[in-house]
Amino acid sequence: MKRFLLLLILIFATWSLSAQSVGLVLSGGGAKGIAHIGVIRVLEENNIPIDYISGTSIGAIVGGLYAAGYTPDEMEELFRSDDFYFWSTGRIQEEYRYYFNQPEQDPSWIELRVEKQEDKLKLLPPTSIIPEKQMDFAFMELLASTNAACKNNFDSLMIPFFCIATDVYNNKPVVLRKGDLGEAIRASMTVPLYFKPIKINDTLLFDGGIVNNFPHDFMQKFHEPDIIIGHKVADDSKAPESDNVVAQIANMVMRPTNYKIPEEKGMLMETKFENVGLLDFQKFELINQMGTETAEQFIDSIKQRIERRVSPTELKRKRQEFNLQKPDLYFQNIQVEGVEDPMQRKFIIQSIKHRYNVVSLSSLKKEYFKLIADDHLRSIRPIAHYNRATGYFDLHLKVVPEKKFRVNIGGNISTKPINQGFASIDYRTYQGRAYTLSSNIYFGRFYSSFKVGGRIDFPTSLPFYLSGYSTLNRWDFFSSSSEPFFEDVRPPYIIQNDYNFRTEAGIPLGLHSKLYGNVIFANSDDEYYQTEKFRKEDEPDKTKFTAFVSRLGIENNSLNYKQFATEGEFNCISLNYITGKETHEPGTTSSTSISKEQNHRYFLGKASSLKYWDIGSKFTVGTQAEAVFSNKNHFQNYRSTLLAAPGYYPTPNSKTMFIENFHANNYLAGGLKLLWHFTSSLHLRVEGHGFVPLKEEQKNDDLTAFNNSKIFNRYYLQGMAAMVYHTGLGPISLSFNYYEKPNTKFYLSLNFGYTIFNKRGI
């Protein structure tokens, strides 16, 4: 009898051990959470079962992907991929940058929205540093099929899963165990200031780490596993320094989290990091390796506590069975929420479906990024619901229209006398078609400008736009100074005033290109001295050119930044017909005292190209080329001829200078750019450029112009070496520039912002 009872006890004990259930809990911690993948890999390789999984923030991402059937290899591939880089930074991949809807470039840093509240206009700051549009689509793309497989019940995933978000209003944890898995993870990892919060069931949700960064308590409450394995990558809260505002805010917002797991309930692994920031995902290899090493240090203790094993064959079969339940992503019915205008709602739906009944994921993605390029739409959050009756997904688009008023602030801050401020205001409305009224102002010693106008976009089967802008520009070119950090106090030796009224019509040519036509009235008024040496009492020459311009052009643009780009390309070709009258009034440095007038009619063709190629992960090569050909006659003197001639400005610093050697009515120019990337935001670039006039304009003794009889007789060089850091507002650059010209050749400058101007008339 005793032997029989002993046998029963042994059988029961063996059954109890074999039935051990294991819950895995993953903490938040930003990029450091990549280490969770290494931990999961070690557990799998040692056949340790994972019966339940939960996480917060990055722990929710890794845990949710694993529960959805992704292997550690697949998760590693995802985190290493270019796609992850783009959706974690909010930047748009080159193949999805829709050029047609982009407004004219300006030097803005930050966008403020204007809203009427209680009969008062209020400026609303940006709600996030990182745009959410890329991320919202990514979560739908990654997990919509998983939602169909588990029928929106996270307990029916390959591994039961839940994650934690924070109710912003009530400041309490929200446990997400059902619904849309992508939205749940998106809510759990929405770090304040970095990402925009989302609403689920009318509750505004932020990062779960604010209230519970390690939900082992909820794991015990919901699943009661026999053993809890926890992995912590978050730093313990520390007293912030007096000048660290971000750390101070984080300490005020985030509650302390209890990471301790009672010994009888399980064990806690911790991976500690130094010099790994919240978004340092580029340090993937280091972080993942450290997570692996942590798990390997604990694996013997884990094996002693957990005797149950899951074979690789059994795990593979379980994953395959779950993944086979995932339907392919094809979309049929489309609903739009948040748009009042039925025409705009119809336009959004037709933009995605066109004439097709069913839309593939690749087609949807292309059209989605076209839509988010529309300035009239602030955001579009796609949610896919599987329709079991049709076998396709129904697409629900939560659209947030843009505020009617928008204010942009920007400019350039420099150690050279080219500082400028910038402000613009736009008014947008949609009434069957999209209307944008805009105005901007530049103010500074070197450059000032004012522009007002608008654009109408027609949402026809072939979209097109009509626009008109009135612009007043003024450039004051100061005499060159050899001092690198001090402004030159001498008066300007060239002042260019430009007024133009431009009308334009355009249609898209594919994703990156557009065909456009212009009719322009232009009036340029230049004041200049005809010699380099002049006195304050000297009177400048004045040349006025009033003209009408007809232009037809094609532009292609997929660059990732509007200044100091590192990928993509820009190509343009245009043909211009210009007719106008030149009026010259001589000054005291002129060789004549007689005012003259002259009519000009000429054609001008221009083509330019800029393209970047990646050479490995750290290096990029860029090539730039430009050509101008015209049958334009000379103006009344040499300097006015070059002032009215096209110029080659390949670098930001060159745009702030007038250098005669780089102006000609006919020329070829080009250059080579070498970029060395230290991080995704910091790079060193070295550029060298050459300029070759076809028949160089030269100066007669009487200060008039003539063309050299020899073709390509001379060439001129310029170059730049710059360290560039792209911030969320604009680039910071320390540049050293060289120009082949008389007098000063080298220039050193430190800049923050953009050297971008309103368009000239000619």
| DSSP per residue, 83-130 | HHHHHHHTPPPGGG---TTPPPP--EEEEEEEEEETTEEEEE--S-SS
Q: Residue holding tokens 């087609």?
A: 363
Cα Rg of the chain (Å, integer): 32
* Dihedrals phi, psi of 53, to nearest 5 degrees: -145, 140
**Residue 264: Cβ within 10 Å count:** 6
Length in residues, the chain: 762
Under 8 Å CB-to-CB from 652, ≥6 apart: which residues? 563, 564, 733, 735, 751, 754, 755
CA 23 to centroid of chain Cα atoms: 38
What is the rounded distance in angstroms from the CA atom of residue 535 to the CA atom of residue 551?
41
Residue pair 652/757 in contact by the 8 Å Cβ criterion: no
| DSSP per residue, 506-569 | EEEETTTEEEEEEEEEEEEEEEE-SSS---TTPPPEEEEEEEEEEEEEEEEE--S-SSS--S-E
- C-alpha count within 13 angstroms, C-beta hemisphere, residue 83: 12
What is the rounded distance in angstroms from the CA atom of residue 463 to the CA atom of residue 378?
20
Cβ-count burial 357-366 (b if 16+ within 10 Å, e if not): eebebebbbe
207 is catalytic: yes
Residue pair 653/418 in contact by the 8 Å Cβ criterion: no
CA distances from 37 to 40, 360, 618 (A): 5, 31, 25
| Identity of residue 388 | R
538 is catalytic: no
What is the rounded distance in angstroms from the CA atom of residue 707 to the CA atom of residue 120?
63
Strand partners, 234: none
Under 8 Å CB-to-CB from 519, ≥6 apart: which residues? 502, 503, 548, 549, 550, 551
Strands (E), 359-459: 359-360, 377-387, 392-401, 405-414, 420-430, 434-444, 447-458
Q: Using CB atoms within 10 A of its CB, is residue 468 exposed (0-12), middle (13-18) or buried (19+)? A: middle
Residue pair 458/100 in contact by the 8 Å Cβ criterion: no
Strands (E), 431-512: 434-444, 447-458, 464-478, 492-509
Q: Among residues 106, 136, 207, 374, which one is catalytic?
A: 207
Q: Among residues 57, 438, 733, 735, which one is catalytic?
A: 57
Strand partners, 687: 673, 720
Looking at the annotation, which residues are catalytic?
A: 57, 207
